[in-house]
Chain A
Amino acid sequence: MASLGLYNYWLVIALMMIGFYIVITSPNLVKKIIGLNIFQASVFVLYITMGKIIGGSAPILSDQIAVYSNPLPHVLILTAIVVGVATTAVGLSLVVRIYAAYGTMEEDEIEKIEAQEEVPT
């Protein structure tokens, strides 16, 4: 049952695989970004989980509190969330420009257009 008690980690693995799967298989560029977001979110959960101790408190010095959760991973992941938002912003703005330039945001259609562009030699 010990492995069930670590259900958060199972959730991380599930999210990670779902996100990764979407990134690889979805031809739609926006869905790829969504997949990337899910993938990154799984890492956020991983970091938050590793710092948490059941019954642990926030890092406030007090005589009544003996067990603390580690705040450091939680703070670290704030940075990673900001990075994730920035990546999403850059990714989506690229999608906007790709849509304007190609008239589609399906990867297979873009590849078709690009293949036609290539001058046969």
Chain B
Amino acid sequence: MLAVHLPVFQVLLPLLAAPVSMLLPGSRVSWVFSTLVSWGCFALSVLLLQQVLQEGSISYAIGGWAAPWGIEYRVDTINAFVLLIVSGISSLVLTGAQASIEREVAKNRIDLLYTCWLLALAGLLGIAITGDAFNVFVFLEISALSSYALIALGSGRRALTASFRYLVVGTIGATFIVIGIGLIYMATGTLNMADMGARLPAVAESRTVIAAFAFLIVGIALKMALFPLHFWLPDAYSYAPSPVAAFLAGTATKVAVYLLLRFSFTIFGGDFAFGAMALERVLMPLALLGIFIASLVAIFQMDVKRLLAYSSIAQIGYMVLGISLVSVTGLTAGILHLFNHALIKSALFMVMACVFYRMGATRLDDFAGLGRRMPWTMAAFVAGGLSLIGIPLTVGFVSKWYLVVAVLERGWWPLAVFILFTSLLAVVYVWRVVEVAYLRPAAEGAGRCEAPLSILLPTWVLIMANFYFGIDSSLTVGVASRAAAALLGIGL
């Protein structure tokens, strides 16, 4: 009986838990509570994914109002996968967040952080699960407003300006998206995604629809920090509290990539978005430029969190590159990388939480001698770094492999060379940190100062996940290729 209502609980659980966590006495209690809620969400998303893989997509009518009039929650392979990523990353990061948050956030604001975290989680899950276009906007703003607050909780005043800049850009992005949705509504008279998808081909020629498409793509590109609309991201990630950065880096931009897939394939349809509008001709050069420039800029960063943030922009480029190939393999690579990069970056930002916990900063100079002083932490960084580069046996390799195969399918071997070359850039920026940590001696009298086990353990779970899914990629590749085929309208 309850199983029927799984989709709505996926969003309701964190949404209702958020105010409760604020009322709980003491930050420790609210941490335990929010972590349990997050794991609950994860369990729900595992159940949903199982159900989708066995029985096909689920449609849930909120309040019993049938689609297309009522709001529909629609779970198919791709968004069940995204739900799993978002709730999984949130749970793991939150499990290890407590010590680090106590250190980085002012005492009287810690309760609020967990509340905002749950709200952000509810928003991100909502974006992924809903089948209603206007609902996307509402959840987008729920997640965005709470992530502005989360970022502003970072230590130091630069977190405030970073948050403000993100607020301005994020609001413009969301407003563009709402303009786009409004224009589609004008043309089709519906807000249900599937219904929109069915009605749009008939009016695809109209200027309203073309304008809607442009607004939506630019709005989503702002949200996912696609080069050259990435400028808000480095500040936001480097000044936010480290666990928040780990959470947002693994989820927020990924959900935006999902929106790009959803809008361009399910709503506008591949024929319109990539045929008539030739979206790939815009996306591909931007993806390539983004990969190259952001990787290059990452090499010259003096702060490691910032370095990772720039690397995130480059990784978004790989995802978009996969999508812009518009083939099953290309989309599979894009969706795979969405999952894999979430694992990689959350793990690496958790390492930053460990380093920040002990050193109080993550400047490159602070890493001197850390190889000896924090051996487990730095070993995690090396392992995560290898995955970021794409060494075999890691998830990074799996997604790059599919990307190269997809490129070669098209016969564009220079692009394959480009992907290998930019991986070398990743080697350079990861190596810079490793070099300082292992080869530069620590300051005099600095002893061993390993991070507490409570942060280290979840970090290592994330790192091990990098290897587990790198060695046994059957689950991720299976789900990603099914999702890709479904998006392209090719039945499996």
Residue positions of A touching B, CB distance < 8 A: 20, 23, 29, 32, 36, 39-40, 43, 46-47, 50, 72-73, 76, 79-80, 83, 86-87, 90-91, 94-95, 97-98, 101-102, 110, 114, 117, 121
Contact = CB atoms under 8 A, between A and B. Distances in A.
A114 B171 contact: no
B167 A94 contact: yes
A97 B160 contact: yes
Given A73-B182, A101-B160, 15 more contacts: A43-B178, A50-B182, A76-B134, A79-B138, A80-B137, A83-B141, A86-B141, A87-B141, A91-B168, A94-B148, A94-B160, A94-B167, A97-B152, A98-B161, A102-B161
B179 A43 contact: yes
B164 A91 contact: yes
Contacts of B178: 43, 80
Given A94-B148, A94-B160, A98-B160, A36 B168 contact: yes
B152 to A, nearest CB: 6
Contact of B182 (A40, A47, A86, A110): A47
B214 to A, nearest CB: 14
Interface string B245-274: 000000000000000000000000000000
Main secondary structure of the interface of B (DSSP, over half): helix
A59 to B, nearest CB: 14
A104 to B, nearest CB: 11
Nearest to B365: A121
Contacts of B163: 94
B302 interface: yes
Nearest to B140: A83
Nearest to A87: B171
Contacts, number: 72
A115 B70 CA distance: 51
Contacts of A40: 171, 175
B302 A121 contact: yes
A72 B181 CA distance: 13
Given A83-B141, A90-B148, A43 B182 contact: yes
Nearest to B148: A90
25 contacts: A20-B172, A23-B172, A29-B164, A36-B168, A39-B175, A43-B179, A46-B179, A50-B185, A50-B186, A72-B191, A73-B185, A79-B134, A80-B137, A86-B145, A90-B145, A90-B148, A90-B149, A90-B167, A91-B168, A94-B148, A94-B152, A95-B164, A102-B161, A114-B161, A121-B302
B432 interface: no
A23 B169 CA distance: 10
A15 to B, nearest CB: 12
Contacts of A29: 164
Contacts of B157: 98, 101-102
Contacts of A94: 148, 152, 160, 163-164, 167
Contacts of A46: 179, 182
A6 B78 CA distance: 41
B63 to A, nearest CB: 15
Interface string B149-183: 10010000110110110011001101100110010
A79 to B, nearest CB: 6
Give the residue among A73, A80, A114 with the most B Cβ atoms within 10 A: A80
